[in-house]
C-alpha cells in the first residue's frame, strides 16, 4: 500500500477583538445583540485584513436571543456585508456559549470542513424580550387568525381578558427553571456550604477591579477592545463597569443582594452587561500561506454538567482537571489560569474543590486533588466581576485575553474555566503557538 504521512491539521487563533463591556441600559441600549455582533465582526476584519472571500464559515453564539431571528449569526453576517455564500449559524450554551462557538470552529477546521472561520458571541441584556402571557395568545389567536371573526367575536374576546393574568407582561426568565432560584441565590448557598467568607469574596472582587483597571490603564486591553459608535453618535472606547477607585472598605459596606444575612453583594457579583467578542481562527498551514501569524491554539477542552439542585456553579472544578488531563498535562504544567467570575463566591468555591482530595475521588475518579490554587494566582487581568458579563461574549473575551497574554509574556499554556446556568461548565487548555 502506498503510505502517505498525513500531518494532522491544527486550528490556530489569529487574534480577536471585543467591544467595550458596558453596564446594561447604558450607551449600548439602542444596539441590539445583532448590532453589537456586527460591530465586533467589522472590528475583527479591520484588525486582521483578510480577503472576505477566504472566509469559509461563521459560528456565532448568544444567550438572550431575539425570538424573531434566532439565527443572529446569519443576520450579523448580512449586516457586516460579508458574502452571502459564507454560511453562518448560532449556538447557545449559556455562559460557555462563545467558548463553545470557538471550539466548534476549531473542530471544524481540524476536520477539514473549513480553513478560515469567525467565532464569537454577543449579548444585549438591555434588549431582553418582555413577553405577553401565553394565555393572551391562546385567547386572542383563534379570533384574530379566523377570517370569519366578527366585531362581536372581538368584543367577546376583549371582555374575556383578565387584566391581571392576561395583560401584564412577563419578566424575562432569570430564575433557574428547575429550582426556581436566582443564580445569586444558588451562589449564596454555595458560599454558605463551602464557608466562603464575605471578606474573602470582597478581597477577590477588589483584586478583580484593581487588575482590570490596571490592564485598561496600561493599555493591555487596547490590543483587544475596539471602539464602538452608538446611534447617538457617541464613540465608546472602554469598559465602564470597572472601578479602579474601589477599596475593600467600600466593598464591605455594600448590602447583601440575595439574602438578608447573605455574603453576596452587587460588588462581588458580576452585573448585567452588553457586549460582544469575536475571534478569527484558521488552519495553521492556511494561516501561514495567507501571511498571518498565529498566536495560540487549543490543546483540549471539556464540557460538563452537574446537578443544578446541588451546587449550581461548581462545574469548572470538574471541567478544568478533565481538560488538563485530556491535554496530557498536569496542574503544574499550566502557566496561567483564567476563571469566569460569575460571583467571587463561586470562583472561591471552585478553587476550594480543586484542592479537595475527596472531591477528586468522588467526582473525577482520581486519588489526588488537582492542586492548591491561590485566588491571587488566577485572572491576571481581572474578570467578569470587574469587567461585566455579557453572557455569550465572556468565553471569547477570556480566549482573546489569554491568547494575547501568551504572546506577550512568552508563557506556554493557559487554562480557562467557565460555569453557567443549568449547572453547565466548560474548560479549555490553550497553548502558545
Partner 1 sequence: MSDRLIQLGKSLVIRNLFKNFGLPNLPQELKRSKHPWEQHPLKDQVIITGQIRSSKLTEAIAGTVARLGATALVDGDETIFNIFHKIGSGYGRLPHYLSDEDKPVNPFQAMIYDATDIQRPEELNLVFSFFHDHLRSLSTCGRAVIIARPPETMPDIASATSSRSLEGFIRALSREVGFNGSTANIIYVSPDAEDRLESVMRFILSPRSAYITGQPLNISNQVLMNEPSASIRPLDRKIAMVTGSAQGIGAAIARTMAREGAKVIIVDRPCEEISAAKLASEIQGTLLLCDITDASAGNTMLELISNKFKGLDILVHNAGITRDKLLVNMKSEIWDQVLDVNLRSILRVNEKILPVMREGGRMVCLSSVSGIAGNRGQTNYSTSKAGVIGYVQHLASDVKERGIAVNAVAPGFIETQMTARIPFATREVARRLSNLNQGGQPEDVAETVTFLSSPGASGLSGQVIRICGGALIGA
Place of cell 463591556: 21
- Show the cell assigned to 88: 453562518
Contact, 187 vs 341, CB < 8 A?
no
Cβ nearer to partner 1, comparing 26 with 375: 375
Give the span between the Cα atoms of 33 and 110, in whole angstroms: 29
Q: How near is the Cβ of 178 to partner 1 at its closest, in Å?
A: 13
Q: Measure CA 240 to chain center.
A: 18
Mind spelling out the 3-state secondary structure of 209-232?
HHHHHHHHHCCHHHHCECCEECCC
Task: Select from 112-120, 233-241, 280-288, 345-353 the region that touches partner 1 (CB under 8 A).
Answer: 345-353
Task: Select from 78-86, 129-137, 263-271, 349-357 the region that touches partner 1 (CB under 8 A).
Answer: 349-357
Contact, 22 vs 240, CB < 8 A?
yes
Cβ nearer to partner 1, comparing 85 with 367: 367
Answer for which of 54, 87, 310, 377 binds partner 1 (CB under 8 A) is 310
Q: How near is the Cβ of 346 to partner 1 at its closest, in Å?
A: 11
Q: How near is the Cβ of 304 to partner 1 at its closest, in Å?
A: 15
**DSSP 8-state class, residue 65:** -
- Show the cell assigned to 26: 447604558
Give the span between the Cα atoms of 418 and 313, in whole angstroms: 9
Contact, 44 vs 276, CB < 8 A?
no
Cβ nearer to partner 1, comparing 189 with 286: 189
Q: Kindly state the helix (H) or strand (E) to which residue 123 belongs, with its residue range.
A: strand 116-124
Q: Kindly state the helix (H) or strand (E) to which residue 384 belongs, with its residue range.
A: helix 384-387
Answer for which of 57, 311, 319, 346 binds partner 1 (CB under 8 A) is 311
Q: How near is the Cβ of 197 to partner 1 at its closest, in Å?
A: 13
Contact, 88 vs 105, CB < 8 A?
no
Cβ nearer to partner 1, comparing 36 with 190: 190
Q: Measure CA 239 to chain center.
A: 16
Plot region of 80 (φ>0 → left; ψ -120 to 50 → alpha; else → beta): alpha
Contact, 208 vs 383, CB < 8 A?
yes
Cβ nearer to partner 1, comparing 60 with 204: 204
Answer for which of 142, 309, 376, 409 binds partner 1 (CB under 8 A) is 309
Give the span between the Cα atoms of 393 and 273, in whole angstroms: 10
x-or-dash pattern for partner 1, window 350-389, by CB under 8 A? --xx--xxxxxxxx--------------------------
Give the span between the Cα atoms of 98 and 61, in whole angstroms: 6
Q: How near is the Cβ of 328 to partner 1 at its closest, in Å?
A: 25
Per CB under 8 A, contacts with partner 1 among 279-308 are: 307
CA torsion sign, 42 to 46 to 48 to 50?
positive
Q: How near is the Cβ of 425 to partner 1 at its closest, in Å?
A: 15
Instruction: Kindly give the interhelix angle for 72-80 and 33-47, rounded to the nearest 10 degrees.
Output: 50
Q: How near is the Cβ of 342 to partner 1 at its closest, in Å?
A: 16
Catalytic residues: 95, 389, 419
- Show the cell assigned to 420: 453557567
Q: Does 344 bind partner 1 (CB under 8 A)?
A: no
The most distant pair of C-alpha atoms in the chain lies apart, rounded to whole Å, by: 82
Cβ nearer to partner 1, comparing 352 with 407: 352
Give the span between the Cα atoms of 136 and 139, in whole angstroms: 5
Q: How near is the Cβ of 99 to partner 1 at its closest, in Å?
A: 25
Cβ nearer to partner 1, comparing 11 with 423: 423
Per CB under 8 A, contacts with partner 1 among 2-21 are: none
Answer for which of 349, 394, 413, 425 binds partner 1 (CB under 8 A) is 349
Cβ nearer to partner 1, comparing 165 with 361: 361
x-or-dash pattern for partner 1, window 190-209, by CB under 8 A? x--xxx--------------
**Residues at the contact surface with partner 1, assessed by CB under 8 A:** 190, 193-195, 307, 309-311, 314, 349, 352-353, 356-363
Amino acid at each position: 500500500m502506498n503510505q502517505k504521512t498525513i500531518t494532522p491539521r491544527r486550528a490556530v487563533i489569529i487574534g480577536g477583538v471585543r467591544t467595550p463591556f458596558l453596564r446594561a441600559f447604558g450607551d449600548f441600549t439602542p444596539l441590539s445583540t445583532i448590532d453589537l455582533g456586527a460591530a465586533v465582526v467589522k472590528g475583527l476584519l479591520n484588525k486582521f485584513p483578510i480577503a472576505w472571500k477566504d472566509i469559509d464559515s461563521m459560528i456565532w453564539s448568544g444567550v438572550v436571543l431575539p425570538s424573531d431571528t434566532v439565527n443572529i449569526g446569519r443576520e450579523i453576517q448580512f449586516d457586516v456585508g460579508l458574502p452571502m455564500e459564507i454560511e453562518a449559524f448560532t449556538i447557545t450554551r449559556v455562559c460557555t456559549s462563545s467558548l463553545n462557538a470557538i471550539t466548534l470552529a476549531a473542530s471544524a477546521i481540524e476536520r477539514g470542513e473549513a480553513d478560515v472561520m469567525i467565532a464569537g458571541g454577543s449579548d444585549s441584556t438591555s434588549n431582553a424580550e418582555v413577553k405577553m402571557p401565553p394565555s393572551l395568545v391562546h385567547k386572542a389567536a383563534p379570533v384574530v387568525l379566523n377570517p370569519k371573526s366578527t366585531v362581536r367575536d372581538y368584543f367577546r374576546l376583549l371582555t374575556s381578558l383578565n387584566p391581571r393574568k392576561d395583560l401584564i407582561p412577563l419578566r424575562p426568565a432569570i430564575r433557574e427553571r428547575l429550582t426556581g432560584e436566582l443564580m445569586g441565590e444558588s451562589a449564596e448557598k454555595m458560599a454558605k456550604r463551602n464557608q466562603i467568607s464575605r471578606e474573602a469574596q470582597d478581597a477577590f472582587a477588589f483584586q478583580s477591579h484593581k487588575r482590570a483597571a490596571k490592564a485598561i490603564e496600561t493599555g493591555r486591553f487596547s490590543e483587544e477592545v475596539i471602539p464602538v459608535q452608538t446611534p447617538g453618535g457617541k464613540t465608546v472606547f472602554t469598559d465602564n463597569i470597572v472601578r479602579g477607585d474601589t477599596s475593600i472598605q467600600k466593598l464591605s459596606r455594600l448590602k447583601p443582594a440575595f439574602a438578608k444575612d447573605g455574603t453576596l453583594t452587587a460588588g462581588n457579583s458580576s452585573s448585567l452587561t452588553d457586549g460582544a467578542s469575536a475571534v478569527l481562527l484558521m488552519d495553521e498551514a492556511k494561516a501561514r500561506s495567507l501571511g498571518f501569524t498565529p498566536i495560540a491554539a487549543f490543546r483540549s477542552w471539556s464540557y460538563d454538567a452537574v446537578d443544578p439542585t446541588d451546587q449550581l456553579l461548581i462545574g469548572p472544578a470538574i471541567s478544568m482537571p478533565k481538560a488538563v488531563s485530556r491535554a496530557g498535562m498536569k496542574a503544574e504544567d499550566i502557566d496561567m489560569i483564567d476563571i469566569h467570575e460569575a460571583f467571587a463566591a463561586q470562583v472561591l468555591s471552585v478553587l476550594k474543590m480543586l484542592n479537595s482530595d475527596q472531591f477528586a475521588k468522588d467526582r473525577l475518579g482520581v486519588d489526588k486533588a488537582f492542586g492548591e490554587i491561590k485566588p491571587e494566582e488566577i485572572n491576571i487581568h481581572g474578570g467578569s466581576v470587574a469587567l461585566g458579563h455579557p453572557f455569550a461574549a465572556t468565553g471569547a473575551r477570556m480566549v482573546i485575553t489569554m491568547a494575547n497574554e501568551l504572546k506577550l509574556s512568552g508563557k506556554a499554556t493557559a487554562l480557562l474555566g467557565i460555569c453557567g446556568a443549568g449547572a453547565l461548565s466548560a474548560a479549555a487548555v490553550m497553548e502558545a503557538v
